[in-house]
């Protein structure tokens, strides 16, 4: 039991260090700009306005729904994009997460595994800001927020555990196999279109349904839309499967990272 609790106890034990480093990353991103941290709020608002204008007024796009009701293309699209952006940021940073922090690796007492939590903390901050903007837009449009919003913390916790496992796994591989950077670059681009970011899963032809189902982003994008925009609860079966996958990825990534981390200093 203690073995399974180790990644959680480690994160809790170094929570102040993780918070401090994540805060420094967030503030460092906007250092020197006139608006500073305010950009974290302005950027998602501007993106949402652009999506509304381009897809709503120019393309006059409508979200395909089985009941023929337009649920708001801009909010559904924006929801998919903020989920994808968090995933792509973590995946894109992971191959060089250890390589770019050699000074920490060389320190024997430094807990290198917290670097993954720091990256997630940075992305999570911007994800929450974008989510607030999305919810404000949903309320402003008159659609309202239902009880399904109660599933948001649980869904986010699952997403974070999944991303943490991916980050540890990819960052460890990135130390030994530098080509991982290029593979990840291709995957992040391909997943933009192979994930239901700009469209719902329901319109994908049946023969390609398997491709969508094995893509873990499909579950999170579709269910964040249900919880935040459509006022629907996730399907219990798919939710349980996704939870098992998230936990499995989390422990697999952490175990692999801890097994190979001893050789980081020698390779770097």
Q: Kindly state the DSSP code that residue 252 receives in the 8-state scheme.
A: H
Q: Is residue 239 part of a domain?
A: yes
Which candidate, 251, 187, 190, 229, places its Cα nearest to that of 82? 229
pLDDT at residue 187 in the model: 92
Q: Is residue 2 part of a domain?
A: no
Long-range contacts of the stretch 54-59 (C-beta < 8 A, 24+): none
Q: Is residue 1 part of a domain?
A: no
Please give the structure tokens belonging to residue 200: 């719902």
pLDDT at residue 68 in the model: 41
pLDDT at residue 260 in the model: 92
Measure the CA angle with vertex 64, ends 62 and 66; round to 5°.
Answer: 140
pLDDT at residue 91 in the model: 94
pLDDT at residue 66 in the model: 40
Q: Is residue 10 part of a domain?
A: no
Q: Is residue 4 part of a domain?
A: no
Which candidate, 153, 83, 111, places its Cα nearest to that of 21? 111
pLDDT at residue 55 in the model: 72
Return averaged pLDDT per consecutive 10 residues of the chain, 268 residues in all: 80 91 88 78 85 73 54 81 94 92 79 92 94 89 82 96 96 92 92 88 83 90 93 92 95 94 81
* Cα–Cα distance, 117 to 123 (Å, whole number): 10
The secondary structure of 99-114 as a DSSP string is: GGGHHHHT-TTS-TTH
End-to-end CA distance of the chain: 34
Work out how many domains the chain is built from and give that number. 1
Q: Is residue 182 part of a domain?
A: yes
pLDDT at residue 264 in the model: 86
Q: Is residue 3 part of a domain?
A: no
pLDDT at residue 2 in the model: 66
Query: How many C-beta neighbours within 10 Å does residue 234 have?
Result: 19
Q: Is residue 9 part of a domain?
A: no
Residue 3's H or E segment, with its range, is: helix 2-13
172, 96 in Cβ contact below 8 A? no
Domain range for 175 = 15-267
């Amino acid at each position: 039991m203690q073995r399974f609790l180790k990644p959680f106890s480690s994160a809790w034990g170094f929570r102040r260090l993780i918070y401090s480093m994540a805060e420094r990353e967030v503030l460092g991103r906007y250092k020197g700009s006139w608006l500073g941290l305010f950009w974290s709020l302005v950027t998602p608002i501007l993106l949402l306005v652009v999506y509304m204008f381009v897809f709503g007024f120019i393309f006059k796009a409508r979200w395909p729904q089985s009941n023929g009701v337009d649920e708001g293309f801009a909010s559904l699209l924006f929801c998919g994009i903020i989920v994808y952006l968090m995933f792509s940021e973590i995946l894109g940073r992971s191959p060089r997460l250890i390589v770019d922090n050699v000074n920490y690796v060389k320190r024997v007492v430094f807990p290198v595994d917290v670097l993954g939590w720091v990256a997630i903390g940075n992305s999570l901050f911007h994800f929450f800001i974008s989510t607030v903007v999305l919810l404000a837009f949903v309320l402003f449009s008159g659609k309202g927020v239902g009880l399904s919003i109660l599933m948001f913390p649980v869904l986010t916790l699952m997403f974070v555990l999944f991303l943490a496992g991916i980050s540890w796994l990819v960052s460890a591989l990135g130390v030994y196999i530098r080509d991982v950077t290029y593979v990840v670059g291709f995957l992040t681009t391909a997943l933009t279109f192979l994930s239901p970011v700009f469209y719902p899963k329901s319109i994908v032809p049946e023969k390609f349904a398997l491709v969508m189902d094995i893509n873990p982003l499909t579950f999170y994008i579709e269910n964040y839309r249900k919880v935040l925009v459509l006022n629907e609860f996730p399907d219990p079966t798919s939710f349980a499967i996704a939870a098992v996958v998230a936990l499995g990825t989390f422990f697999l990534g952490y175990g692999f990272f801890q097994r190979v981390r001893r050789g980081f200093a020698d390779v770097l």
